[in-house]
């Protein structure tokens, strides 16, 4: 890692030592202007700070990358209509509860499972099942259309 010394106007005494990240923040905050000169420790050559900042590329933070990516829009999973079979299975289960209880209860449970499985969006971001009435995925906040 390079350590730099800073002369704010090229004439004033050197300040420092500074890391390149500190100099970058000072430059962005306006604490140092375009006339500032820097020198690496052990060197006699003074160069403009702006040239050194251009030569040393700072890594982009994750938050900057995240904001540059447009939000994804979820897709609706295409399924066959299961409303009628689920309703028939549910009422058949209710009737079977009066005739033969051990068969009626599983029929009602299966009817609810069919309705639950086909009544959802699937988020294209995270694959999470989301209710039909939702406008966004609660897990990843992707908008659903």
Q: Is the dihedral of CA 41, 46, 47, 50 positive or negative?
A: positive
Answer yes or no: are the C-beta atoms of 8 and 36 closer than 8 Å: yes
Q: Per-residue pLDDT tens for 13-43?
A: 777 788 888 888 888 888 887 678 887 877 7
Among residues 25, 55, 50, the alpha carbon closest in space to that of 38 is found at: 50
> CA-to-CA distance for 141 and 86, rounded, in angstroms?
30
47: left (phi over 0), alpha (psi -120 to 50) or beta: beta
Domains and CATH numbers, the chain: 4-63 (3.30.1490), 83-144 (no CATH)
* pLDDT for residue 95: 92
From the list 42, 29, 37, 28, the residue with the least C-alpha distance to 7 is 37
Residue range 88-100: average pLDDT? 87
- Of residues 113 and 103, more confidently modeled: 103
Worst-scoring range by mean pLDDT, 18-22, 29-33, 69-73, 141-145? 69-73
pLDDT band at 79 (very low <50, low <70, confident <90, very high): very low
Note the pLDDT tens digit of each residue in 8-21: 776 777 777 888 88
pTM: 0.37
């Amino acid at each position: 890692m390079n350590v730099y010394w800073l002369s704010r106007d090229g004439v004033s005494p050197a300040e420092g030592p500074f890391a390149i990240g500190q100099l970058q923040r000072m430059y962005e905050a306006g604490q140092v202007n375009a006339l500032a000169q820097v020198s690496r420790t052990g060197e006699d050559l003074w160069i403009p700070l702006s040239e050194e900042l251009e030569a040393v590329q700072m890594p982009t933070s994750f938050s900057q990358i995240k904001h540059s990516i447009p939000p994804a829009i979820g897709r609706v999973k295409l399924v066959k209509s299961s409303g009628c079979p689920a309703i028939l299975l549910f009422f058949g289960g209710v009737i079977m509860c009066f005739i033969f209880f051990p068969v009626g209860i599983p029929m009602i449970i299966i009817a609810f499972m069919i309705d639950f499985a086909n009544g959802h969006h699937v988020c294209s971001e995270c694959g999470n099942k989301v209710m039909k009435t939702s406008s966004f995925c609660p897990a990843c906040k992707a908008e659903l259309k």
